[in-house]
Amino acid sequence: MALSKLDSLYRAVILDHSSHPHHHGSLAGKTPLILNNPTCGDVIQLTVELKDGEVKDIAFSGSGCSISTASASMMTDLVIGQTVQRVYELAENFSRLVQGQQVEDLKSLGEAAFLSGVAKFPSRIKCATLSWNALKKAIEADGFAQEILSCHEE
């Protein structure tokens, strides 16, 4: 596929997620974790349902640029049903990807891999990672992070 066609596909997927975000809204009975990017003003409100060390459901709302919204939408699709440990691995891989670093298992990121081009625009990295950082903070607030940290120390 020609590079321009591939770029067009990437843009189309990102614009679709931005215009029609998946899992947009909030989960009833859950207190949202609110995180903002002071650099550009993006704000995300994330609600997560964790059960038995897995993400059972997730939703987000807020205001942000197309990169921020698309990234949050892609992330929510990717993490439902994943263990907390796997979420941390995915978040680390995504962070590497948008910083232009090598990612061994690119397919594991699903459509979020389309955001690899963010590496060319350093000012947009925080936009792309805002939702992932909010998810890690939500997991930590729920007490599951200690489990993961303990596993990595052994």
Report pLDDT digits (tens) over 8-40: 777 888 999 999 999 999 999 999 999 999 888
Q: Say what the pTM is.
A: 0.88
Sequence-distant (6+) residues with CB within 8 A of 51 are none
> What would the pLDDT profile of 124-135 be if each residue is shown by its tens digit?
999 999 999 999
Q: What percent of the chain has pLDDT over 90?
A: 78
Q: Provide CB contacts within 8 A for 65, sequence distance 6+.
A: 40, 42, 124, 127
How far apart CA 154 and CA 108 sit, in angstroms, is 25
Q: Give the mean pLDDT of the chain.
A: 89
Please tell me the number of Cα atoms within 13 Å of 1 on its side-chain side: 8
Domains and CATH numbers, the chain: 3-153 (3.90.1010.10)
